[in-house]
Chains A and B, each alone.
Chain A
Amino acid sequence: MIKIEMQDVCLGYGRKVVLKDLTFQVSPGEMVGLIGPNGCGKSTIIRALSHTISSYSGKILLDGQDVTKIPRRQLAQLLGVVPQMPLLPSAFTAFEIVLMGRNPHLGLFQYEGPKELAIACQAMEKTGTQSLAGRRVSELSGGEIQGLLIARVLAQETKAILLDEPTANLDIGRQIEILDLIKNLCRENNLTVLAALHDLNLASQYCDRLVLISNGRIQAEGTPREVITARNIADVYGAESCVYTHPVNGLPCVLLNTGNNKMARPEGVIKEL
């Protein structure tokens, strides 16, 4: 059980500051969603949390420890990442890719034994990708690859999982399947989950809390009801009067209404945000 914390973190690339004053936390057993418009910096936050980029200032803590001080291998045992559009070597099979998830638990001299193979198998079964096992990555579709990445992070058996748009290429059935899986794991194993999602409905349905990023800072934080409001959506996304209440569970849901995007207005001034 580990807690992810960001305190006053400032992030950017080169000299350009992309995000400032980031302060939030994710507790064990909690699934937090990162939402915001394209390019707002969700991937940047995930990179910073997994220490693939450095922060300019502020502290990023994993279970109380500064993430930059944790040795790489140990960090990978604690925290797993499902990247957004990763490069996968086309010559490897799906099973080999998933098996790579076991790397943090293997020493330099060790090789994958039956236990590792079993864990990888199980991970593939859970994500419904076991039929892809012997196929080469180059033959797989985007959706199948995304399933594989989830399987890989499951095989990694970490205490915390970061997901960067894990369902972008999946059909609606698969989306629900995967997110149900993650939510259940989160609950059952007390995992700490942070997911960057672009689909506001999924975010609303699955996440315990949401963090809304816009204009380089946290715009709003809280439960889905608190964050997904008509006003927030209009301010951040520029799409007006889209928020309704789900008839079954009462959570906010966003329904599209064409023609009310401020950009599409033929006349009138674009509202200042």
Chain B
Amino acid sequence: MKRKRYKLGISYLASVILMSLLGACTPTPAEEPALPVESATFPIETTDQADRVVRVEKMPEKIISLAPSNTEILYALGLEDRLVGVTEYCNYPEAAKEKPQIGGFSTVDIEKVVEIEPDLILATNIHKDEIVPQLERLGLTVLTIDPKTVDEVLEAINLIGQFTGKAEEASQLTAEMEKQIKAVTDKTAALTEAQKPRVFYILWHDPLMTVGSETRIHELIEKAGGINIAQGLPDEYPRISLEAVIMANPQVIIAGSGHGTGQDAPFHFALTEPRLAEVEARQNGLIYEIDSDLTSRPGLRIVDGLEKLAEFIHPELFKESQ
């Protein structure tokens, strides 16, 4: 019947798009770059974070980024002059918005990309199944970034640096980031379980979604000295029932913002949902909002995200250092 087919089609579409949206995919182990970091000579051939072997013959002059996180990294490595294509969502730094746009969230305008004739394309796990093979069939070079942990984010930055002849800048950047991360974890490592507050991270409120233990955000929460109340849940971005949240009685609620500002944002939900009134976080007013770009994007600003989370979760340890 028409209605059933429509529903099936929509469900299929939903699952495809949801998967891309939430970055759910089969885990692939990231590989250490095979060559020593200092080597800036081309050609380079190694395995990227999607287990593909990538080969670049010469220094790439025209680079396209298929994800905002990659764009941020490129800017941080001083490659903005060679960046010739970004997505609609690349909004940091401000200057990135001026670059020519070649795609949206998980969609890529293949024709535009081909027209530009890039030497290197930086993709992420969303693009892995369909877009990357398609681009490679067209003879383009694609490097896929897919960091599962914070450490892998640092590796990703190094990998990009390697492939763009900015290996030194990359290692400096990652060293700096490591220092900042350590500054946080040194303080939180000493905490006992009892001292770590229960944290509920709201990814989205309708449906109520949070982060599971396989995610980077979960890792950030742990590094910041909190206990993710959803850590027992199976998926990466599981739905959680309101009942379970009430029972878990989180002491700190952090809502990711940026998906919908104003009334329908998860932050507003956390503040006003009447059935959460008895929860500790609400009683003590420990409800915070964080720009989800800082926590979700596997780029350099993940460190800022960590620091902010640490401030929210352990203000007594971190407020003064800011």
- Are chains A and B touching directly in their complex (CB below 8 angstroms)? no
Listed in ascending order, the chain A residues whose CB lies under 8 Å from chain B are none
The chain B residues found within 8 Å of chain A, CB to CB, are none
